[in-house]
Amino acid sequence: MSSPIDQVLSEFVDAWNAGRRPQVDDYLGRVAPAERDDLADQLMMWLAVAPTPDYPDAAREEIRADPTVRAVLAATAGEAGLWPELLPRLRKRAGLAIRDLAARVVATFGLTGEEERTAGYLERMERGELEAARVSRRLLDALGAALGVSGESLAEAGDLRSGVARPAAASPGTLWRADGAPSDALADEFAALSRAAMTPAPTPMDELDRLFTGGPDA
Amino acid sequence: MMAAAGDSEIVRRHDEEKLRRFVRCRDTGDVEGAQRWWAELVEDNIDRVKGMVAIWGRDGRLSADEREEAAQQALFRLWRNMVKTFEGSSMGEWVNAVRRCTEYACMDVQRSAARRRRHESSLDETVRGEDGEVGRHDRQLGKRAEEEYRRAEERDDAAGFVAWAVPQVANERRRTVIERSLDGAPAEEIAAELGVEMGNLYQLRSRGMKDLAKLKETYDP
């Protein structure tokens, strides 16, 4: 004789396999509270072994529109990692407006008069417009202190792409022998280098620029 | 659509191909390629992650917002693991990674929520340890969890738990029901194949799942 758990589990499995995206809570809610742990164990076992369903197109669209999926993919694709999602949340939790946070940064680094530019930089950080790898660790420590987390945590949150290896560069001592005429691509690179050489040097970075864009050691 | 016998193997191979392509892109520095295959893996597995989070957070252990946060954290942990240390190529390893990252994310979110309820605002606050030394308790816990995860991952059999466990389900009918369920066959179809009532089929499926759970304890102590 089968129990209610047996039937509920079976219906979950069928719904999963059919790509109907069954919600665990709906199924747990169908059994008596005393039986939920037993059902939960079996559902966990199924989720640990179940193949990915062949989702219908409509389900696939739903998944792509899921806010969690969108947030995760945006964070792992962006140069700023989790910052656009994390920094506003931490700031809100700390009860600080952008200008308050800017005032703390200015005070920490003795940059009186730079409140407005600092606030602008902070807004860009929150929008994910600053590359996390170029933000100074000193600044992250100061921001972390104001937001109640460590600078190291902030650095890690911004650094979601660094593990993807870049192709190994040739060692400085490596010599390459040209086997034929230089390619168009090489000619384009020389042209770009020439243009760069003729372009006036940018305005030197000041202390505030260095904090936000000068690299981790700035 | 009726599932043919052996479909689970085809699905697994398809999933594993995505995993292999991700690893290949990662190792050759193809960031865009790695992100493309990562996106496919996330889309394929978001229901698995959210289902595991829901089981973990059932009966009010995590609020709706905390579950969302845990699902996100689980995927970020998974991404970090995938880009930095993951060396596997089987779906068994991948699903194991999903499960462990989800568990740690749920624990983290629950700890953070408990702290907030105690009016402590830091995600990573400094607390005094048992020995009186001031340390970053959560960071230590997180690092320990990561180390445990890596050790567990090293123990995993690349062939995957399913391939190892299903043939060991001793009862033939339960084994058949599990195999056909993993193939995607619906309950009615399996019941017809075995010539059993639906009630019996539900029971065979449930007991087969319990057999797998027991085998899992042996496989992954």
- Mean predicted confidence (pLDDT) in A210-214: 94
Do A152 and A114 share a structural domain? yes
Evaluate whether residue A179 is within a structural domain.
Answer: no
* Chain B environment of A153 (Cβ under 8 Å): 123-124, 139
- Mean predicted confidence (pLDDT) in B197-210: 95
pLDDT at res. A183? 67
Do A82 and A44 share a structural domain? no
B135 vs A183: which has the higher pLDDT? A183
Chain A closest-CA separation from residue B165 CA (Å):
10
pLDDT at res. A10? 97
Which of the residue ranges A11-20, A84-93, B182-191 would you say has the lowest mean pLDDT?
Answer: A84-93
pLDDT at res. A160? 67
Chain B closest-CA separation from residue A140 CA (Å):
14
CATH of the domain at A89: 1.10.260
pLDDT at res. B206? 96
pLDDT-derived band at A175 (thresholds 50, 70, 90) equals very low
Evaluate whether residue A48 is within a structural domain.
Answer: yes
- Mean predicted confidence (pLDDT) in B160-178: 89
Chain B closest-CA separation from residue A22 CA (Å):
8
Do A87 and A154 share a structural domain? yes
Give the integer Cα–Cα distance in Å for A90 and A87: 5
| Domain with A1 in it | 1-65
Q: What is the pLDDT of residues B66-103, one digit of tens each?
A: 899 899 889 988 887 777 766 666 777 778 888 888 99
Do A118 and A31 share a structural domain? no
DSSP character string of A135-151: S-HHHHHHHHHHHTS-H
For residue A7, CA distances in Å to A14, A28, A30, B47, B50 come to 11, 12, 10, 21, 22
Give the ipTM: 0.78
pLDDT at res. B4? 44
Query: Is pLDDT above 50 for B36?
Result: yes
Do A86 and A52 share a structural domain? no
Q: How many CB atoms lie within 10 A of CB A162?
A: 15
- Mean predicted confidence (pLDDT) in A35-40: 95
Of A20, A36, A65, the one marking the end of a domain is: A65
Do A119 and A17 share a structural domain? no
Do A88 and A61 share a structural domain? no
Evaluate whether residue A196 is within a structural domain.
Answer: no
A93 vs B88: which has the higher pLDDT? A93
Cβ contact (<8 Å) for A167 and B34? no
Chain A closest-CA separation from residue B20 CA (Å):
14
B174-210 core/surface letters (b: 16 or more CB in 10 A; e: else): bbbbbbbbbbbbbbebbbeebebeeebbbbbbbbbbe
DSSP character string of B84-139: HT----SHHHHHHHHHHHHHHHHHHHHHHHHHHHTT---SS--EE-TTS-EE-HHH
Query: Is pLDDT above 60 for A80?
Result: yes
- Mean predicted confidence (pLDDT) in B47-75: 92
* Chain B environment of A2 (Cβ under 8 Å): 199-200, 202-203, 206
Instruction: Give burial (CB, 10 Å; 0-12/13-18/19+) of B34.
Output: buried
Retrieve residue A16's tokens: 């999963």
- Mean predicted confidence (pLDDT) in A17-39: 96
Do A23 and A85 share a structural domain? no
Cβ contact (<8 Å) for B55 and A150? no
* Residues 124-153 of chain B whose Cβ lies under 8 A from any Cβ of chain A: 124-125, 136, 139
Evaluate whether residue A56 is within a structural domain.
Answer: yes
| Chain A / chain B CB contacts < 8 angstroms | 185
pLDDT at res. A176? 45
**What mean pLDDT is reported for chain B?**
78
pLDDT at res. B117? 65
Length of chain B: 221
Of A65, A87, A106, the one marking the end of a domain is: A65
Of A15, A42, A65, the one marking the end of a domain is: A65
Do A97 and A7 share a structural domain? no
* Chain A environment of B123 (Cβ under 8 Å): 90, 148-149, 153
Number of structural domains in chain A: 2
Evaluate whether residue A127 is within a structural domain.
Answer: yes
Do A106 and A11 share a structural domain? no
Q: How many CB atoms lie within 10 A of CB A135?
A: 25
- Mean predicted confidence (pLDDT) in A39-60: 92
Retrieve residue B99's tokens: 């499960």
What residues contact B55, with CB distance under 8 A and at least 6 apart? A24, A28, A40, A43, A44, A47
Evaluate whether residue A195 is within a structural domain.
Answer: no
Do A12 and A120 share a structural domain? no
Evaluate whether residue A185 is within a structural domain.
Answer: no
Query: Is pLDDT above 60 for A174?
Result: no
Whether A28 and chain B come into contact, CB under 8 Å, resolves to: yes
Q: How many CB atoms lie within 10 A of CB A183?
A: 9
Evaluate whether residue A34 is within a structural domain.
Answer: yes
- Mean predicted confidence (pLDDT) in A200-209: 82
* Pairing state between β B134-135 and B127-128: antiparallel
Please list the residues that pair with B128 across neighbouring strands.
B134
Q: How many CB atoms lie within 10 A of CB A152?
A: 15
**Who among B3, B121, B210 is closest to A148 (CB)?**
B121
C-alpha B189: how far from chain center: 28
DSSP character string of A11-38: HHHHHHHTT----HHHHHTTS-GGGHHH
Q: Can you tell me which residue has the tokens 């597995």?
A: B45
Query: Is pLDDT above 90 for B7?
Result: no
pLDDT-derived band at B146 (thresholds 50, 70, 90) equals low
**Who among B55, B182, B206 is closest to A40 (CB)?**
B55
For residue A91, CA distances in Å to A8, A94, A122, A138, B121 come to 44, 5, 11, 18, 11
Cβ contact (<8 Å) for A25 and B54? yes
pLDDT at res. A28? 97
Cβ contact (<8 Å) for A48 and B3? no
Chain B closest-CA separation from residue A40 CA (Å):
6
* Residues 24-63 of chain B whose Cβ lies under 8 A from any Cβ of chain A: 25-31, 34-35, 38-39, 42-48, 50-52, 54-55, 58-59
C-alpha B80: how far from chain center: 15
Do A105 and A20 share a structural domain? no
pLDDT at res. B121? 45
* Residues 142-201 of chain A whose Cβ lies under 8 A from any Cβ of chain B: 148-150, 152-153, 160-167
**Who among B51, B68, B182 is closest to A47 (CB)?**
B51
Instruction: Give the predicted TM-score (pTM) of the model.
Output: 0.70
**Who among A11, A48, A51 is closest to B11 (CB)?**
A51
